[in-house]
């Protein structure tokens, strides 16, 4: 994802300075927000209206239903996106950050005095985060396919090439991810602005030809449309929800752009353009019902079809880029909150803190996206898979937000009423998508459950590993007190022993004393921990506790959005009286080999999975930015 520039003298991992943007900065951030935040929801007109009037929904194609369906879309955008996300949920920021995991940390903090509830909210939030990965697979597939299906309108001869061309575009998109979005990002905003202006203009043209569609602004028509559906209301809602996909991006990208630019972009351009385009498609179908084969592209005159196809393809690629970048950021947060093993995270910009590239996630997403395109073959087939993950995430967001707003000084009856209303809307949308479960809805759910199993296994495995180390290790303070410094040979350097449990003696220290019979002049028992907030200022990251006999316990605390640069942060210990010279320090690391054992802990297959993940976890040296020529690694076997 794109993020605003940080000053060049800012410490690594500092939060973006967006709290008080200037007018010029606000305009730039608003333009960037249009390009990244709204790419997903902005491409929904490519396929939404067509899906509502498929035979499976039972919605007849006539003027009354067209006005009613467009009215439901408009008021869904007003209630779910505008009222719920833009007005309410954007206020629930975690020190300026948004998104599923940031909200989860905020909700868990609000109930920190109730451990069972806190654990339950953490699991719920993590499950919501895993559903985002399902969205990250479906969005590129359906967006690019929906755009490429315009080839069939240009000439039916090109229909067999829609899927192959879509796959090639997606492979190219994932191949260039390693280059970063810095250069391409400059064009995201302008292209999407042109896209939304085009949506509005073609919509107005057709509304002028059939102004009766403006009756869709009356919510009574939305109510009548839904109430007349009977039990088929869920099938209709399952198609209408496609107009809302991408709403979560408003909140997820708040930390990169700030609340105000996202709100200005929505109210000033995105909402009017979407409303006008959906009404334009309705007006077109009232005049030409045969255009239902692809009402979006039929909005354009024949001479403008190819330019429209090119613009739609660019918009689809940008929408895909937004969720791909979001998956990278989500993964980084999950790693630092302890729900995924360390991964290779590459920073693709020296100025843009949010621009990262995670190779493992990139290739996994490419595999999933290509599988979805080849397996489903069309945007209509993919529409069955789309929606369940999004609506469940929306419902989880509502639940978590309730625990956050309870800590706000707001009117309780108003908070209860608003939460109940949004939960009812979410429940209706989830039910509407649930009817598509066997038509592809199982795909993102299965993907989400698989990732949830991996994340929960890693989190529980780390707990068991820490318990095992704690029970088998020697207590640190009594060990230090019992040392006879005069009987041990001293080395004139600083030793940093990185440990997960600061209360026990580091295995590397025991090896040093047993095999080398030496002790360094300065011995640092280092623990790195991650707070449940996105940013921790530099002056709050270091805690130094003297232990005696030239031993110190140092605890470094990072936010889950900070870059954990250990050497750079250890320099700050000098302010607390402990000087750690950069070029005279050796880092001793203990690499645990996990040994699954029968009995307590987790199921045996989960223990084996955890052991495999531990073996393949990214290197601690790269993750903590340690100097390669100053690291000594020692192995130890730990049973869980």
Same domain, 420 and 529: no
Q: Is the pTM of this model over 0.85?
A: no
Domain count, the chain: 2
pLDDT in tens, 358-392: 898 999 999 999 999 999 888 888 877 777 888 89
- Which pLDDT score is estimated for 354? 56
Same domain, 487 and 546: yes
Same domain, 177 and 227: yes
CB-neighbour burial class of residue 128 (10 A; exposed 0-12, middle 13-18, buried 19+) = buried
More confident residue, 288 or 150: 288
Instruction: Tell me whether residue 545 is in a domain.
Output: yes
Domain endpoint, select from 374, 405, 440: 440
- Which pLDDT score is estimated for 11? 36
Asked if residues 625 and 567 have their Cβ atoms less than 8 Å apart, the reply is yes
Domain endpoint, select from 423, 440, 457: 440
Same domain, 429 and 478: no
Domain endpoint, select from 401, 422, 440: 440
Instruction: Tell me whether residue 2 is in a domain.
Output: no
At residue 333, does pLDDT exceed 90?
A: no
Q: For the chain, give the percent of residues with pLDDT over 70.
A: 92
At residue 24, does pLDDT exceed 70?
A: no
Q: Compute, in degrees rounded to 10, the torsion defined by CA atoms 340, 343, 348, 351.
A: 60
Same domain, 265 and 213: yes
E-assigned strand segments in 415-459: none
Distance CA 571, CA 565 (A): 11
Same domain, 80 and 192: yes
Instruction: Tell me whether residue 454 is in a domain.
Output: no
Instruction: Tell me whether residue 12 is in a domain.
Output: no
Helix, strand, coil percentages for the chain (3-state, nearest 5):
65, 10, 25
Same domain, 498 and 434: no
Instruction: Tell me whether residue 293 is in a domain.
Output: yes
Q: For the chain, give the percent of residues with pLDDT over 90.
A: 30
Pairing of strands 542-548, 518-530: unpaired
Q: Could you give the angle at the alpha carbon of 485 between the alpha carbons of 479 and 487, nearest 5°?
A: 110
Question: Which of 189-193, 300-304, 597-601 has the largest mean confidence?
Answer: 300-304
> Residue 217 belongs to a domain with what CATH number?
1.20.1740.10
H helices, E strands: number in the chain: 26, 8
Same domain, 337 and 371: yes
- Which stretch of DSSP H or E encloses residue 589? strand 585-595
Instruction: Tell me whether residue 542 is in a domain.
Output: yes
pLDDT in tens, 492-512: 889 999 888 888 888 888 877
Instruction: Tell me whether residue 14 is in a domain.
Output: no
Instruction: Tell me whether residue 8 is in a domain.
Output: no
- Which pLDDT score is estimated for 19? 41
Distance CA 230, CA 211 (A): 29
Looking at every residue in the chain, the average pLDDT score rounds to 84
The sign one gets for the Cα dihedral 282, 287, 289, 293 is: negative
Tell me the average pLDDT across 85-90. Answer: 88
Same domain, 362 and 273: yes
Structural domain boundaries, residue 534: 466-639
Grade residue 633 by pLDDT with cuts at 50, 70 and 90. confident
Same domain, 430 and 568: no
Tell me how far CA of residue 87 lies from CA of 39, 40, 93, 262, 268, in angstroms: 20, 20, 12, 11, 14
Question: Which of 10-24, 63-77, 138-152, 458-472 has the largest mean confidence?
Answer: 63-77
Grade residue 9 by pLDDT with cuts at 50, 70 and 90. very low
């Amino acid at each position: 994802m794109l993020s605003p520039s940080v000053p060049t003298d800012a410490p690594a991992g500092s939060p973006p300075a967006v709290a008080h943007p200037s007018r010029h900065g606000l305009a730039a951030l608003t333009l960037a927000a249009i390009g990244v935040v709204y790419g997903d929801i902005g491409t929904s007109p490519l396929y939404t209206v067509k899906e509502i009037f498929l035979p499976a929904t039972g919605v007849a194609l006539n003027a009354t239903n067209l006005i009613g369906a467009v009215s439901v879309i408009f008021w869904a955008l007003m209630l779910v996106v505008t009222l719920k996300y833009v007005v309410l949920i954007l206020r629930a920021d975690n020190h300026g950050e948004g998104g599923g995991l940031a909200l989860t940390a905020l909700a868990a903090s609000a109930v920190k005095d109730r451990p069972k509830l806190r654990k339950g909210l953490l699991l719920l939030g993590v499950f919501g985060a895993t559903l985002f990965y399902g969205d990250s697979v479906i969005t590129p597939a359906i967006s690019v396919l929906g755009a490429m299906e315009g080839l069939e309108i240009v000439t039916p001869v090109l229909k067999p090439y829609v899927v192959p061309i879509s796959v090639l575009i997606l492979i190219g998109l994932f191949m260039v991810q390693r280059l970063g979005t810095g250069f391409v990002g400059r064009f995201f905003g302008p292209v999407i602005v042109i896209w939304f202006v085009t949506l509005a203009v073609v919509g107005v043209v057709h509304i002028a030809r059939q102004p009766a569609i403006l009756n869709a602004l009356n919510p009574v028509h939305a109510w009548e449309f839904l109430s007349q559906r009977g039990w088929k209301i869920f099938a209709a809602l399952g198609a209408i929800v496609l107009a809302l996909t991408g709403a979560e991006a408003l909140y997820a990208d708040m930390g990169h752009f700030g609340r105000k630019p996202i709100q200005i972009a929505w109210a000033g351009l995105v909402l009017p353009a979407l409303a006008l385009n959906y009404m334009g498609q309705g007006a077109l179908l009232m005049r030409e019902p045969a255009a239902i084969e692809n009402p979006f592209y039929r909005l354009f005159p024949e001479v403008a079809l190819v330019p429209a196809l090119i613009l739609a393809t660019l918009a689809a690629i940008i929408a895909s880029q937004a969720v791909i970048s979001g998956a990278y950021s989500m993964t980084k947060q999950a790693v630092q909150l302890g729900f995924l093993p360390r991964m290779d995270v590459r920073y693709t910009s020296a100025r843009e803190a949010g621009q990262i590239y995670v190779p493992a996630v990139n290739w996994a997403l490419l595999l999933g996206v290509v599988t979805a395109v080849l397996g489903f073959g069309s945007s209509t087939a993919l529409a069955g898979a789309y929606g369940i993950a999004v609506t469940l995430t929306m419902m989880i967001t509502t639940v978590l937000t309730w625990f956050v707003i309870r800590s706000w000084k707001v009117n309780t009856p108003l908070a209860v009423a608003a939460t109940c209303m949004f939960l009812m809307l979410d429940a209706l949308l989830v039910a509407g998508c649930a009817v598509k479960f066997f038509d592809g809805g199982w795909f993102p759910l299965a993907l989400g459950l698989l990732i949830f199993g991996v994340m929960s296994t890693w989190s529980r495995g780390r707990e068991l590993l820490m318990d095992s180390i704690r029970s088998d290790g020697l207590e640190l303070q009594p060990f230090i007190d019992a040392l006879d410094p005069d009987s041990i040979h001293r080395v004139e350097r600083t030793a940093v022993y990185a440990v997960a449990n600061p209360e026990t003696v580091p295995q590397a220290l025991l090896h040093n004393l047993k095999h080398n019979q030496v002790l360094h002049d300065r011995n640092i028992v280092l623990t790195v921990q991650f707070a449940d907030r996105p940013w921790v200022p530099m002056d709050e990251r270091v805690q130094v506790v003297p232990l005696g006999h030239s031993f110190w316990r140092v605890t470094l605390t990072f936010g889950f959005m900070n870059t954990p640069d250990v050497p750079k942060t250890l320099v700050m210990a000098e302010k607390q009286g402990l000087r750690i010279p950069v070029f005279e320090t050796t880092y001793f690391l203990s690499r645990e080999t996990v040994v699954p054992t029968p009995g307590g802990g987790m199921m045996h297959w989960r223990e084996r999975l955890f052991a495999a993940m531990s073996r393949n976890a990214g290197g601690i040296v790269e993750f903590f930015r340690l100097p390669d020529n100053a690291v000594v690694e020692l192995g130890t076997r730990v049973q869980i």
